[in-house]
Chain A
Amino acid sequence: MTRSTDPKESRTRREGTHLLVRAGEHTCALPLAAVRRVVRSLTVHPLPGAAGELEGLAEFGGEPLPVLNLARLVNASPGANPSYPVTVVVRVGPAGSQEMLGLAADAALEVVHVPPDSIVAGEGGFLQGEAPLGGEVVRILNLEALGS
């Protein structure tokens, strides 16, 4: 097997690598470079008056971590009760002012490559677009936009 040594191709491949997670009825793709950890669903302490997308605050590594409900973020209908819900700890926001955030999801599925040219641009912001993958349409998330 021959590996490409072209730096541009290598960078493109790295940027196209995503973690697939289940969020209600949707499958979402998170840029793998932004994923710090996947842990069993963290205990979350709700914040009174918060929008539905914000589940609350959790503790992670001795630090406070805001946790968002991924299904609510992508307007997905709730799925069946997940058997192994997870919190995906990600870095969000533009380079230079990134922050840690937890995304509550129903399950972590697999790591895949999403070719950039297969992505149909979305409405902008947090939802980068959609791409066909393995017989279903996957929502590609732009985590940089989430923290800004």
Chain B
Amino acid sequence: MSAPHAPGFLLMRRAGGLWGIANGAVEGLARDGAGYRIQAGGAALAADEILGVVTDLRVVPAAPALRRFWPEEPAGVAVHAGVPLVVVDPRRLPAALRCEIPRCDAGEDEEQGHE
């Protein structure tokens, strides 16, 4: 589903929203209970659903007005299939995407899809 250094963005759902991360930053993907755990930038992200990889995402910087009212520091924002999404910076993961301990450390997950 995701390949290191491949172009594009891995799209996922989390906390009711749509999120993306540069595919090249994804180091691993595994089931985690009903959701998924994604390794990226040395950290673990949680996702409720993986939507796939898109290559034609036009990412623009987050506007100052957005940063003023949202404490996170995303890599940018974009629209996919008419739905706005946040592209995360793996070095500065939004709190909503960070894996909850111990759920993400359970180690019982089945590695999959990282081809």
Report if A50-B70 is in contact (Cβ < 8 Å); known contacts: A45-B16, A59-B84: yes
Q: Please determine whether A54 and B94 come into contact, CB atoms closer than 8 angstroms.
A: no
The 8 A CB mask of A57-97 against B (1 = contact, 0 = none) is: 11100111110100000000000000000000000110000
Which residues of A (96-126) have their CB < 8 Å from a CB of B? 99-101
The residue in chain B whose Cβ has the minimal distance to the Cβ of A97 is B64
Query: Is there a chain A Cβ closer than 8 Å to B96's Cβ?
Result: yes
* Closest beta carbon of chain B to A120's beta carbon, Å: 26
The residue in chain A whose Cβ has the minimal distance to the Cβ of B15 is A48
Alpha-carbon distance between A65 and B83 when the two chains are bound, in angstroms: 11
Query: Is there a chain B Cβ closer than 8 Å to A12's Cβ?
Result: no
Query: Is there a chain A Cβ closer than 8 Å to B18's Cβ?
Result: yes
Alpha-carbon distance between A31 and B72 when the two chains are bound, in angstroms: 30
Query: Is there a chain B Cβ closer than 8 Å to A1's Cβ?
Result: no
Q: Please determine whether B65 and A49 come into contact, CB atoms closer than 8 angstroms.
A: no
CB-CB under 8 A from B82, the residues of chain A are 59
Which residues of B (36-85) have their CB < 8 Å from a CB of A? 60, 63-66, 69-72, 77-79, 82-85
Query: Is there a chain A Cβ closer than 8 Å to B33's Cβ?
Result: no
Alpha-carbon distance between A46 and B86 when the two chains are bound, in angstroms: 11
> Max chain B CB contacts within 10 Å: which of A48, A51, A68, A93?
A48
Alpha-carbon distance between A81 and B89 when the two chains are bound, in angstroms: 38
Instruction: Choose one: B69, B79, B84, B86; the contact of A51 (CB below 8 Å).
Output: B69
Q: Is the interface of A mostly helix, strand, loop or mixed?
A: strand
Query: Is there a chain A Cβ closer than 8 Å to B95's Cβ?
Result: yes
Q: Please determine whether B16 and A46 come into contact, CB atoms closer than 8 angstroms.
A: yes
Query: Is there a chain B Cβ closer than 8 Å to A146's Cβ?
Result: yes
* Closest beta carbon of chain A to B62's beta carbon, Å: 8
The 8 A CB mask of A33-60 against B (1 = contact, 0 = none) is: 0000000000001111111011011110
> Max chain A CB contacts within 10 Å: which of B60, B63, B77?
B63
The residue in chain A whose Cβ has the minimal distance to the Cβ of B83 is A59
Query: Is there a chain B Cβ closer than 8 Å to A16's Cβ?
Result: no
CB-CB under 8 A from B65, the residues of chain A are 66, 68, 92-93, 99, 101, 146-147
* Closest beta carbon of chain B to A106's beta carbon, Å: 20
Q: Please determine whether A64 and B84 come into contact, CB atoms closer than 8 angstroms.
A: yes
Q: Please determine whether B83 and A147 come into contact, CB atoms closer than 8 angstroms.
A: no
Q: Please determine whether B66 and A54 come into contact, CB atoms closer than 8 angstroms.
A: yes
A-B complex: 10 closest residue pairs judged by Cβ atoms: A54-B69, A48-B96, A57-B84, A64-B77, A64-B84, A66-B66, A99-B63, A51-B69, A50-B70, A48-B15
